[in-house]
Amino acid sequence: MAEAQGGRSLVVDAVTHRYPSGALAVENINLDVKGGEIIALLGPSGCGKTTLLRIIAGFIAQSQGRIIIGDDIVDALPPNRRAVGIVFQNYALFPHLSISENVGYGLAARGIDKATRQREAQRLLELVQLPAMAERLPRQLSGGQQQRVALARALAIKPSILLLDEPFAALDKNLRLDMQIEIKRLQRVSGITTLIVTHDQEEALSMADRVAVLGHGKLEQFGTPSDVYDRPQTLFVNTFVGSSNRMPGVVISADRTAAKVRLDAGAEIIARPAGGVLTEGGRVTVCIRPEHLQFVGDETGFAGVVGMSLPLGATVVHEVTTADGSGVKISQARIGETRALESGAAVRLAPLAPSLANAFPATL
Amino acid sequence: MGAAPASRDVTSYGMGLAAPLALFFLFFFVAPLLQLLWLSLHNDTAALHWGLGQYLHFLTDPFSLSVLGSTLLLGAEVTAVCLVLGFPIAWLYQRVGPRLQTIIILIVLLPLLTSVVVRTFAWIVILGRQGIINATLQSLGIIDTPLKLLYTQFGVVIALAQVQMPLMTLPLITALGRIDPNLDDASCSLGAGSWRTFFRIVLPLSLPGVIAGCTLTYAAAITAFITQSLIGGGQMLFMPMYLYQQASTLQNWPFASAISIIFLLAVLAVVSVFTTLGRLSRGYGGA
Ligand SMILES: Nc1ncnc2c1ncn2[C@@H]1O[C@H](COP(=O)(O)OP(=O)(O)O)[C@@H](O)[C@H]1O
Ligand SMILES: [Mg+2]
């Protein structure tokens, strides 16, 4: 696919969509995607990911805002003239056409002759490593193979943007990893601008150059995987991406880079003000990831009682109940003989470093 | 195989439960049919002399052959009208909201809720010399003398098409409903316009429904005694009426029997063409 145009840019400009039923599916979304980037659209089910994807593809006309591909505003173009390739979640292969005809379908629509179509289809099937399947019907292929065909079919029209809606949701775990690597490889070779919709944060973080986190139809954060994971801008992002303990507290003092917070669990800690200005005396929610907590000696940190311990392979997760009765999870790497913690043991916990505790103004 | 002794092959179940139905068919379908066949193989009305005379008579009589031909043609015309009108309705049904769907289903089913006789008389009111169509056209000044609509092939086809429409529309709605709506979108995003999508994707995938609808409509249209007779009047003769005249009026039971058998074979031939097409298209609709 060296001949593909190096991937066109995509701008989603203040897009809002309200369904005729009245449901506000996406609200004022702004995305600026550079040519050749892989973007993940990450959010829980029902947050408007598919809606946004269908707006970009042209199946839904947004209520407000613009879609710009390359230098063109495409809002007036129907889907068949946008040159946007889509891989549907259920693959949507044409069941009555052979694999080769499926892949060549877009070329037939462009009036390309049969011999050329077949040659091109064969080339693409080799690209997705299914060279021997051309004459089969879709139902004679496994799920992973069908997905490769769907990908080849979308790439055949040399789209300027490739959209994938939950592409790995229907695959089992091992196959999923294979396909993730495969798609990343194809994307690198073709340099095509790619948008992957997913509700799986690991998938988003591992595959994308940048991740757009959506919650309830709004864009919560748009940044690199480490931005989103390490420097979440909202409480939603902090708790949705990766797991996180939410600990309520009160601000004792705060400036722009650090805040001293008294946790209800009974300790004073330094946290990073993550979501805007914090005022002294205001209630906050502090998020600390389980892997960013450590057991400490007497007098520091906050106290708790160990409940359950779950060995999860490389790590062990302990559930600790704090003084204010809330539960906190702490995960420890399993190095050699990890000290066995009995249920009911009294422990003290503290964050590994101030920058690893994020304080957000409590909303009520 | 033997791993699951509890679950038996369905074909190995005793046929006892099917016995009442089998007996019913034996007495009320197979026996009369055999009697019909037996009667048709006699040359005289008293059924004393064996022979193929009735069949020879039918197959060499231009009048009888023309009745058979016009009946089979009528079926084809009604089926074509139902298909052309029913497909858009079924297509529309799959693309509107749930409230409109209810309304469409109601409209489609409504004919089934009234008696055929009542519906047929309604068509007489509509198509007659002084009927709704002629009165409207005349008052608009479009025509001077009333059009002849009743007692014509056209009138019979239209009335039958309306009467049999649900038989076409319902299988079509089912078949179109089975098609994954994403296929439409996939075709479109690959650059195909709506006509290409229709002819390359929607139509081939709806073929099982088209064939089921055509078979039902065809079989119903050619045997629709009441509508054929009332709208066709005395001037158009189709197989069911021809049969009825021979049996009831002329008391020529052997000839009537032969007509029935020939009609039955003709219908079976047409239906088996449909089912063969259906089998060929099964490679498609499976998904
Ligand atoms: N065709 C539709 N009509 C009305 N509301 C819809 C329609 N499709 C989706 N919605 C609503 O819009 C919201 C976003 O849906 P969707 O974009 O499918 O979410 P996601 O793909 O993130 O799971 C949901 O609340 C859903 O109920
Ligand atoms: Mg979705």
Q: Residue A339 has what DSSP assignment? A: P
A53 lies in the same domain as A146: yes
CB-CB: which of B182, B191, B204 is closest to A90?
B182
A182 lies in the same domain as A255: no
SS3 category, A299? coil
Dist CA B229 CA B238 (whole Å): 8
A167 lies in the same domain as A277: no
Residue B142 buriedness (CB in 10 A; 0-12 / 13-18 / 19+): exposed
Which amino acid would we find at residue B252? Answer: N
Ligand 1 pocket check for A51: Cβ under 6 Å: yes
Mean pLDDT computed over B115-143: 87
- Say whether residue A302 is in contact with chain B using an 8 A CB cutoff: no
pLDDT given at position A98: 94
pLDDT given at position A1: 37
- Does A81 sit within 8 Å of B188, measured CB to CB? no
Question: Quick one: CA torsion of A289, A291, A296, A299, rounded to 10 degrees?
Answer: 0
Q: Which of A218, A235, A252 marks a domain boundary? A: A235
pLDDT given at position B9: 62
Per-residue pLDDT of chain A (364 residues; tens, 9 = 90+): 333 456 899 999 999 999 998 899 999 999 999 999 999 999 999 999 999 999 999 999 999 999 999 999 999 999 999 989 999 988 999 999 999 999 999 999 999 999 999 999 999 999 888 889 999 999 999 988 998 999 999 999 999 899 999 888 877 888 888 888 888 888 888 889 999 999 988 889 989 999 999 999 999 999 999 999 989 999 999 999 988 999 999 999 888 888 899 998 888 888 989 877 788 888 999 999 999 998 887 777 888 899 888 888 888 889 999 888 888 999 988 776 556 677 888 888 988 888 889 999 887 5
Residue A5 falls inside a structural domain: no
Assigned token pair, A248: 């309520």
Alpha carbon separation from B198 to A94, A115, A153, B201 (Å, rounded): 13, 24, 19, 6
pLDDT given at position A209: 95
For residue B229, how many other CB atoms are within 10 A of its CB?
18
A145 lies in the same domain as A279: no
Q: Name the closest-CA residue to atom 13, ligand 1.
A: A25
Mean pLDDT computed over B276-282: 75
Confidence of residue B232 (pLDDT cuts 50, 70, 90): confident
Dist CA B276 CA A85 (whole Å): 38
A98 lies in the same domain as A73: yes
Mean pLDDT computed over B74-86: 95
- Does A92 sit within 8 Å of B190, measured CB to CB? no
- Does B186 sit within 8 Å of A96, measured CB to CB? no
- Closest C-alpha to A125, from A95, A111, A104, A105: A104
User: How many Å is the Cα radius of gyration of chain A?
Assistant: 25
- Does B189 sit within 8 Å of A80, measured CB to CB? yes
Domain span including residue A340:
243-361
Confidence of residue B215 (pLDDT cuts 50, 70, 90): very high
Q: Which of A235, A262, A287 marks a domain boundary? A: A235
pLDDT given at position A290: 92
Residue A52 falls inside a structural domain: yes
A97 lies in the same domain as A170: yes
Q: How many residues in chain A?
A: 364
Element (H, E) at A57: helix A49-57
pLDDT given at position A320: 92
* pLDDT tens sequence across B153-164: 888 999 999 989
Confidence of residue B286 (pLDDT cuts 50, 70, 90): very low
Dist CA B137 CA A32 (whole Å): 63
pLDDT given at position B141: 85
pLDDT given at position A3: 39
- Beta strands A357-361 and A283-288 are antiparallel
A152 lies in the same domain as A186: yes
Residue A102 falls inside a structural domain: yes
Q: Which of A177, A203, A235 marks a domain boundary? A: A235
Residue A3 falls inside a structural domain: no
Q: Residue A127 has what DSSP assignment? A: H
The CA-to-CA distance between both ends of chain B, in Å, stands at 28
C-beta separation of A44 from A89 below 8 A:
no
Q: Which CATH number do you get for residue A337?
A: 2.40.50.140
A105 contacts in chain B (CB < 8 Å):
187, 190, 192, 200
Is the reported ipTM for this assembly greater than 0.90? no
Ligand 1 pocket check for A301: Cβ under 6 Å: no
Dist CA A195 CA A167 (whole Å): 11
Distance of alpha carbon B203 from its chain centroid, rounded? 21
DSSP string for residues in chain B: -TT-TTS--GGGS-GGGGHHHHHHHIIIIIHHHHHHHHHHTBSSTTS-SB-SHHHHHHHH-HHHHHHHHHHHHHHHHHHHHHHHHHHHHHHHHTTS-HHHHHHHHHHHHHHHHS-HHHHHHHHHHHHSTTSHHHHHHHHTTS-SS----TTSHHHHHHHHHHHHHHHHHHHHHHHHHTS-HHHHHHHHHTT--HHHHIIIIIHHHHHHHHHHHHHHHHHHHHT-HHHHHHHHGGG---HHHHHHIIIIIS--HHHHHHHHHHHHHHHHHHHHHHHHHHHHHHHHHT-
Residue A236 C-beta-side C-alpha neighbours within 13 Å:
16
Dist CA A88 CA A94 (whole Å): 12
- Say whether residue A59 is in contact with chain B using an 8 A CB cutoff: yes
Q: Give the number of the ligand closest to the Cα of residue A214.
A: 1
pLDDT given at position B8: 59
Dist CA A351 CA A287 (whole Å): 10
* pLDDT tens sequence across B145-203: 888 888 888 889 999 999 899 999 999 999 999 999 999 999 999 999 999 999 999 99
C-beta separation of A43 from A213 below 8 A:
yes
User: What's the number of domains chain A is made of?
Assistant: 2
Ligand 1 pocket check for A45: Cβ under 6 Å: yes
Q: Which CATH number do you get for residue A151?
A: 3.40.50.300
* CA of residue A165 to ligand 2 center, whole Å: 7
Determine if residue A189 is left, alpha or beta; phi over 0 gives left, psi from -120 to 50 gives alpha, anything else beta: alpha
Sheet (strand A24-33) strand order: A24-33, A10-18, A64-69, A72-73
Percent of all residues in chain B with a pLDDT value above 90, rounded to a whole number: 55
A302 lies in the same domain as A158: no
SS3 category, A288? strand
Confidence of residue B1 (pLDDT cuts 50, 70, 90): very low
Q: Which is more confident, B246 or B3?
A: B246
- Closest C-alpha to B189, from A143, A12, A88: A88
A62 lies in the same domain as A203: yes
Residues of B with CB under 8 A from a CB of A: 180, 182-183, 185-193, 196, 200-201, 204-205, 283-287
Q: Which CATH superfamily is domain B62-280 in?
A: MetI-like (1.10.3720.10)
A189 lies in the same domain as A271: no
Identify from B189, B194, B198, B206 which residue to disrupt to test chain A contact, counting A C-beta atoms within 10 A and taking the largest count: B189
Residue B99 to chain A, least CA–CA distance (Å):
13
A42 lies in the same domain as A158: yes
